[in-house]
């Protein structure tokens, strides 16, 4: 027998995976048996692209499932999304572990690399190794790369990891 998680815990997990918009999407799925991405977009006023992005992310964590049905008139496939029915305690713990693993490996990556950037909006941060290869010039805009302090990112990741431990342990 499985223990079902409360709406509150489910919301927290969903929020962690996809933010406020994901919580709104899940609340629509809770009310309907299944919905297409367009229906969800219409009901939430979240842009279709964004709805899809969030659905795929939720799918990635097995929080939603997807059913593919062929439209009899057009012959096209229609994708119906529904909440993963198996929202058992163990399942949520699994998701928590997956989220923690991702955050921890991200933290590990931040701690074990030095980053460089040109500080221009739209340009990306690169690692020291990559910066060396381009002689410390930004590959996109050509500006000189400077050492990039990632202590804020590290701090945020640590906080997030701690809060997951706190909320679910």
| Residue number with CB closer to Zn ion (28 or 126) | 126
Q: To the nearest whole angstrom, how small is the minimum distance from the Cβ of residue 119 to Zn ion?
A: 8
Number of residues located near Zn ion, criterion CB under 5 A: 6
Which positions ≥6 away from 166 have C-beta within 8 Å? none
Which positions ≥6 away from 121 have C-beta within 8 Å? none
Q: To the nearest whole angstrom, how small is the minimum distance from the Cβ of residue 106 to Zn ion?
A: 23
d(CA 79, CA 56): 12
- Per CB under 5 A, which of residues 123..152 are in contact with Zn ion? 123, 138, 140-141
Give the x/- contact pattern for Zn ion in 74-113, rule: CB under 5 A: ----------------------------------------
| Residue number with CB closer to Zn ion (85 or 122) | 122
| Residue number with CB closer to Zn ion (10 or 131) | 131
Concatenated DSSP letters of 38-64: HHHHHHH---HHHHHHHHHHHHHTTSE
| Residue number with CB closer to Zn ion (94 or 120) | 120
Q: To the nearest whole angstrom, how small is the minimum distance from the Cβ of residue 142 to Zn ion?
A: 7
If you count them, how many residues does the chain have? 169
| Residue number with CB closer to Zn ion (70 or 147) | 147
Q: Give residue 135's region: left, alpha or beta (phi > 0; psi -120 to 50).
A: left
d(CA 156, CA 141): 28
Which residues of the shown chain bind Zn ion in the complex (CB under 5 A)? 118, 120, 123, 138, 140-141
């Amino acid at each position: 027998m499985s223990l079902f998680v409360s709406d509150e815990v489910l919301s927290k997990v969903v929020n962690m995976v996809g933010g406020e918009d994901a919580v709104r999407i899940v609340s629509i799925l809770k009310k309907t048996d299944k919905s297409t991405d367009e229906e969800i977009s219409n009901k939430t006023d979240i842009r279709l692209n964004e709805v899809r992005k969030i659905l795929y992310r939720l799918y990635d964590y097995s929080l939603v499932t997807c059913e593919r049905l062929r439209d009899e008139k057009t012959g096209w496939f229609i994708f119906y999304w529904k909440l993963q029915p198996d929202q058992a305690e163990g399942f949520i713990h699994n998701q928590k572990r997956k989220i923690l693993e991702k955050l921890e490996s991200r933290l590990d990556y931040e701690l074990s690399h030095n980053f460089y950037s040109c500080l221009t909006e739209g340009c990306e941060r690169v690692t020291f190794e990559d910066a060396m290869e381009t002689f410390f010039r930004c590959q996109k805009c050509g500006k000189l790369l400077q050492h990039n302090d990632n202590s804020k990112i590290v701090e945020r990741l640590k906080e997030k990891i701690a809060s997951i431990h706190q909320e679910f342990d």
